[in-house]
Structure 1
Amino acid sequence: MSSARWIYLDAGRGLAALVVVHHHLMVFFDHEMAALIGDESLLLRAFRGISEWNVTAILFFFFISGWSIFLAVERLGTLNGIGPWRLYLLQRARRILPMFLLSLLWAGGLSWAGERNFNDTSFDVLVGNLLFLDTPASLRGLWFPPFAGNGPLWTLSNEAWYYISLPVFYWAVYSKIANPLVRIDAALLGSFVVGIAAIGVNAILPNPFFLFATLWPLWIAGYVYGTSFGQTPIERRVIFWLGLMALVTWSMALEIRSDTLRILSDGCILALCVVLLVKIVRWQTQLTRLHYIDGIVRLFGSVGRGSYTIYVLHYPLLLFLASSRTELGGLATSLLGMGMLIAIAPHLETRIYAHVNQWFALDRPRADA
């Protein structure tokens, strides 16, 4: 069952990665797109509509990352003692560091090679990124922007701190509470309180750690949903809490002007929709085999196996291509560059982790970020 869930999570990651790449293409080349296909064309409206789902795609990444981490932890077996958690942290470091370091080299190299240097390549920004303290420049709490203008890097900092938080979360909730329903209550209510408190404190004392915590409930929701998957009474409790979290944050966002609160609200609504959609699809597949779903899963799953590579490398390449206009035009070269990256990403990611496995003598990590 876990292997089947991995396949669907890969497909979800692939779809989200394509939405993010599409959004950034539209950011750079909306004017060129309008000139090419017509400013009032239905196709351009569709392209712009898909681009609006960028933040939703990132929130989806966080939710399925938490779910994936549950599956990775599940493979460790017993979690008693320090040993399993030491292995867990080693696996997370092995997962996140190779692509993270490659993305820094990639962004820095393209910045140096470009016709104009990208912003934010100073030594202090590099150190801040190496400490996973970079955050979006548009939100309160900025200490360090993503290195060399590689905007998507901030999500890796969130993930790194979420990985580190899991042993503490597990010790505080799952090791102390035996009743599975009470566990769900404590996990989701507790993480939600932390997220709301972090939003309030960050408005007064903005810093990266409070900013990271604002979306922690979404990641924990993914983890908790993983623990409840296929267990109807527990799934219903998760749906109840996600619905309540969505309602509360949506109501608060109507009265309070806060970007972080609005993003958390969108994340809670998204998580609820994902859980309900998964439940509907599982119910339908029990009645009849939905062959079209298999085709969709295979299509996006092939992209999803390289989604991490696509996610951390595409934006510096777009910056480089957009700043180095050629006779073919920036849009044409960027589309070609993105297509090539998407095509080679699964193979590149496999090769990178094959070498990492040889160095650390560990099994290949699942694509969980």
Structure 2
Amino acid sequence: MLRGVCALLVVLNHIRAFVFVDFHECIQPGIAVYAFYFLASLGHQAVIAFFALSGYLVGGRAFQSMIDGKWSSIDYAIARLSRLWTVVLPALIITFVLDKAGATLGGGAAYAGKYGVALASGPLLAAPADHSIATLLANLLFLQTITAPVYGSNGPLWSLANEFWYYVLFPIAASTVLLRKSLLYNIIAVFVVCVLVSSLPAELLMLGSIWCGAAAIAVVSRTEKFRKTIASSMYMTIATIATVVCIIMGSRNSAIWISIIAGLAWSFLLPALAVRRSESKAYRQVAFGLSEISYTMYATHFPILAFLYFVLIAPMQFQPNLEGFLIVLVLTLVTLASSSVLWWSFERNSTTIRIAISSLLHRK
């Protein structure tokens, strides 16, 4: 459920920026408006939670497989790349098609960055939507924010570069400690880690402490002693309070050190959430559905929303009134519907693709 909720918070953050004026421009906001704007301000915090989730699920399994002597770098690479590219490639195509269509239908100035200051993401006057082949290839290789900008209007793609390089960097570093490899392997691995650390942006590396910390906690949480601790109500209460406090702090201040602390708080909360299961069948179905489409939703929602806003609504922004909230509802439903269709068309096939590629390589 958490993955789906985080994706929805990112979507809500962007829809709010498209549809409504900034909070300081609201006329006599009530409690409901305060609550809405607070939820809509949690987009960045949701991405931080994504990093913790990724470290806990992907990194935790990777580190544990090394400890158990079951690690396969080839299988790991196939699993990660098939998962990423199955969504990223369609997302880049959708971005190109909608951006070009939007510019043709009257949104050219918007894609050049006319409304960039008012939005939480997307093109800026100083950095208009870039649809060059070089930028497309850089995004396919997860080099956005490193050697190139994000592709077109799709600002949220910035975090996928972080994810990819965490997948690469931390398992290589961990392998020098957790795997029994030759001295030559360890020398090469350390050299690769040093090259990556010296080449990747400082902020990307600093936020990587969340991914690595969550992976370590995932491994520790499997020990018998820790399992008893995380099952306790006291652990759940303390971890929840710490996470909520960090989320509130993060909604008011986007300093990187606050993001790191919030991510580590999430990392400690995740084991407690993992051992608790809801008895509600309806909840489990909704949670499963939202979690399944969360990656597709995250990677594709912005160019879809940008197209609709730039062509149909811009430059209008609303006070938080009934008309505005109806538009928010429609855009949210459009996002959920399009994400579901795109998930069914592409992402749901990632496991099949992974198995096919793995079988082909192992056969050779």
TM-score by length of 1: 0.67
Q: Kindly state the Cα deviation for residue 68 of structure 1 after the two structures are TM-superposed.
A: 1.7
Report whether the alignment pairs 1:324 with 2:319. Answer: no
Maintained 8 Å contact 1:111/1:148:
yes
Query: CA offsets per residue over residues 117-167 of structure 1, 9 Å max, x none?
Result: 4223242433432331223xxxxxx64321112111011111111111243
- Counterpart in 1 of 2:221? 229
Q: 2:171 aligns with which of 158, 167, 170?
A: 167
- Counterpart in 2 of 1:125? 135
Measure, in 1, the Cα distance between the counterparts of 2:50 and 2:27: 32
- Counterpart in 2 of 1:336? 330
Q: Kindly state the Cα deviation for residue 34 of structure 1 after the two structures are TM-superposed.
A: 10
Measure, in 2, the Cα distance between the counterparts of 1:143 and 1:48: 34
Measure, in 2, the Cα distance between the counterparts of 1:39 and 1:144: 43
Maintained 8 Å contact 1:322/1:334:
no
Q: 1:266 aligns with which of 262, 269, 291?
A: 262
- Counterpart in 2 of 1:62? 51
Measure, in 2, the Cα distance between the counterparts of 1:301 and 1:334: 24
Q: What is the identity percentage for the equivalent residue pairs of Structure 1 and Structure 2?
A: 21
Q: Kindly state the Cα deviation for residue 14 of structure 1 after the two structures are TM-superposed.
A: 0.6
Change (3 A) 1:143 1:237: farther
- Counterpart in 1 of 2:82? 94
Q: Kindly state the Cα deviation for residue 86 of structure 1 after the two structures are TM-superposed.
A: 0.5
Q: 2:296 aligns with which of 289, 306, 309?
A: 309
Change (3 A) 1:231 1:342: same
Maintained 8 Å contact 2:217/2:267:
no
Q: How does 1:1-369 map to 2 (within 5 A)?
A: 11-31=1-21, 39-70=28-59, 73=62, 80=69, 84-114=72-102, 115-117=106-108, 118=111, 119-123=128-132, 124-135=134-145, 143-175=147-179, 208-234=200-226, 259-275=255-271, 277-278=272-273, 282=276, 291=279, 295-325=282-312, 335-346=329-340, 348-353=342-347, 355-356=349-350, 361-362=355-356
Change (3 A) 1:363 1:344: farther
User: Residue 152 of structure 1: SS of its match in structure 2?
Assistant: helix
Q: AA paired with 1:320? A: F
Maintained 8 Å contact 1:318/1:334:
no
Maintained 8 Å contact 1:307/1:346:
no
Change (3 A) 1:272 1:49: same
User: Residue 50 of structure 1: SS of its match in structure 2?
Assistant: helix
Measure, in 1, the Cα distance between the counterparts of 2:303 and 2:201: 26
Change (3 A) 1:333 1:362: farther
Measure, in 1, the Cα distance between the counterparts of 2:91 and 2:28: 35
Gaps of 5+ in 2: 112-127, 182-193, 318-323, 359-364
Change (3 A) 1:228 1:258: same
Q: Kindly state the Cα deviation for residue 26 of structure 1 after the two structures are TM-superposed.
A: 1.1
- The number of aligned residues is 298
Change (3 A) 1:50 1:100: same
Q: AA paired with 2:262? A: D
User: Residue 168 of structure 1: SS of its match in structure 2?
Assistant: helix
Measure, in 2, the Cα distance between the counterparts of 1:267 and 1:356: 27
Measure, in 1, the Cα distance between the counterparts of 2:139 and 2:28: 39
Measure, in 2, the Cα distance between the counterparts of 1:159 and 1:49: 26
Query: CA offsets per residue over residues 195-248 of structure 1, 9 Å max, x none?
Result: xxx7xx9xxxxx744332111111112222222334353469999xxx9xx9xx
- Counterpart in 1 of 2:191? none
Change (3 A) 1:108 1:173: same
- Counterpart in 1 of 2:119? none
Measure, in 2, the Cα distance between the counterparts of 1:81 and 1:236: 26
Measure, in 2, the Cα distance between the counterparts of 1:265 and 1:357: 34
User: Residue 306 of structure 1: SS of its match in structure 2?
Assistant: helix
Change (3 A) 1:208 1:145: farther
